[in-house]
Amino acid sequence: MLLITSSKFSENLIENTKFSRKRPDFIITGFKNETKNYNTHTQLCQYYNSPIFDIYYYQLIVNKQVDLFLKSVSCKWLLFYLRSGKIDQVLIREKLLELPEKSALFSNNQIGKTINITLNKDKYAFVCCNLKEAADTILLSYFLPLFEKSTIYPIIVNSIDFKTQVEWDKLFAPCEFSDLLSSHLMSQLQVILSRFCFDYTSRINEHTIQSQSERKIFVVKNIIDCYPFKQHTLMSLSIQANLNRQFIKLKFQAIFQKTTHQYIIEKRMEYSRLLMETHLDYSVKQVSIICGFKKPQHFIRQFKKFHQLTPGQFKKNLIK
């Protein structure tokens, strides 16, 4: 999935000159990479090609608004994940969309057609997984039937759960040579698709069984599920969800039988456990900071309360 510039101004590559803006530097071991410097932006593309799928990971630093095109001659299905940044305008299959950070998109793709993206001054990171015709058997057998309630593409899930984010991150951090085998990467893409299907069907069920006021509260829940490590308050949640603080306070507890604070701590405990399981090299202090705790002692108390073990004891059990 090639990223192509649109305007003549941005098409001017800056060659043989010192590029002043900071270069994206998150490098994936085993992926090929290519950096391009333009007047409007710089981009680092890291990619992995196989007969069944292609993975393209783009990091961009945009200096001024720019229109870009995503184009492929072999992609039949597109799985897209916006890892960071907010895209105000995406034109795909004649539909104009807005994609917030941590959103995912799945769509069939018309070969030769382009996806138009407008980016404002900011930093962006997104993944394009191109599933080719050879992947049809897997998709038709396991995943496409789950989307039968919505035959209109693209399918979008905003604010994906942190567990799904972790599965995406596994693509970018191969630990062994076997992790770079196409069979292993395809297995990981199937895990990601499974999580996408789960998130999608969960959101569909939320909209069918709840009242309008309950659906509004699930927006708050989804924000916490997506960012358990952030310093959420009733005020910040009310701003993000465009809801009254008192409404959130009363309705959230009525629906989930716990306060927003209790739910945030619960999600942080799930997140901390997942971090220690997937990053054995992280210290307890590192995990506590990543999970949003200002003091490690508070994190240790909460972890023991939820898991009946201290973080140190939990780490020792993992290493055994």
Once rounded to an integer, what is the mean pLDDT over residues 189-196?
Answer: 89
Q: Per-residue pLDDT averaged across 215-231, rounded? A: 91
129 shares its domain with 261: no
CA 283 – CA 214 distance, rounded (Å): 39
Overall domain count for the chain: 2
- Residues 45, 129: one domain? yes
Q: Strands, DSSP E only, in the chain?
A: 2-5, 32-37, 41-49, 53-62, 66-71, 77-84, 87-92, 95-99, 103-108, 114-119, 122-131, 155-157
Same domain, 47 and 148: yes
Would 202 be classed as within a structural domain?
Answer: no
Residue 26 gets which letter from DSSP? Answer: -
Among 103-107, 141-145, 250-254, the range scoring the smallest mean pLDDT is 141-145
The CATH number of the domain holding residue 230 is 1.10.10.60
Edge-to-edge strand list for the sheet holding 66-71:
2-5, 66-71, 114-119, 87-92, 95-99
Residue with tokens 């009946």: 308
Give the three-state DSSP class for 299.
Answer: helix
Q: pLDDT digits over 245-292, tens only? A: 999 999 999 999 999 999 999 999 999 999 999 888 899 999 999 999
Structural domain harbouring 263: 212-319
Q: What is residue 94's predicted lDDT score, i.e. its pLDDT?
A: 83
Residue 162: how many CB atoms within 10 A of its CB? 20
Say whether 147 sits in a helix, a strand or coil: helix
Beta bridge partners of 122: 62
Q: Are residues 155 and 288 part of one domain?
A: no
Q: Are residues 274 and 133 in the same domain?
A: no
Cis peptide before 145 (omega within 30 of 0): no
126 and 55 both lie in a single domain: yes
* Contact yes or no for 106/92 (Cβ under 8 A): no
The H or E element containing residue 193 is: helix 182-209
Residue 54 within any structural domain of the chain: yes
